[in-house]
Amino acid sequence: MIKVLFVCLGNICRSPMAEAMFRELVKKKGLEEQIYIDSAGTGNWHIGEPPHKGTVEILSKNNISVEGLKARQIQPQDLENFDYIIAMDADNRKNINMIKAAYPKADVSVLLEYVPEIADKDVPDPYFTGNFLEVYELVEKGCSALLSKIIAEHFKDKEGNNGQSK
């Protein structure tokens, strides 16, 4: 099983949006039994809270479920347990890397690194900007590109076609 963790600051805006969107994309590819998805925040302010109302509204408008999403803080064991740890921006990557030294297995990247045509790799925090539509569009591009990479790396069948691993 491939495990993907999305991380932002408080785990109420960007990372739960990415988690929900990535779940939907994975489900459409029929890989929900092969890819586990979660999200977390580097801060502890919102532990146990549902996503921000702006995140809920934009996801609901796009028929993406927010069921089961509750904020949590990233834990050191997450760096050992997840194959892909995807930060929403450079600051959160830096915070993750502060605890990474003891967990060399962890592959930490920034979501928009998977979208070469976007120059600014940081997904802005809509908690401060209020621009949930911009964030949704960036997260959608990043999640699509990330899933393509994961499929290419882990789920190519022997004929070279993308699909479920055998």
> Known catalytic residues?
8, 14, 125
Of 9, 2, 7, residue with least CA distance to 31? 2
List beta partners, residue 40.
7
Of 39, 130, 135, residue with least CA distance to 92? 39
Helix (H, G, I), strand (E, B) or coil at 16: helix
Compute the distance between CA of residue 20 and CA of residue 8 in angstroms, rounded to an integer: 14
Compute the distance between CA of residue 82 and CA of residue 95 in angstroms, rounded to an integer: 16
Q: Write the CB contacts of 122 (distance below 8 Å, at least 6 apart in sequence).
A: 88, 89, 90, 91, 110, 112
Helix (H, G, I), strand (E, B) or coil at 69: coil
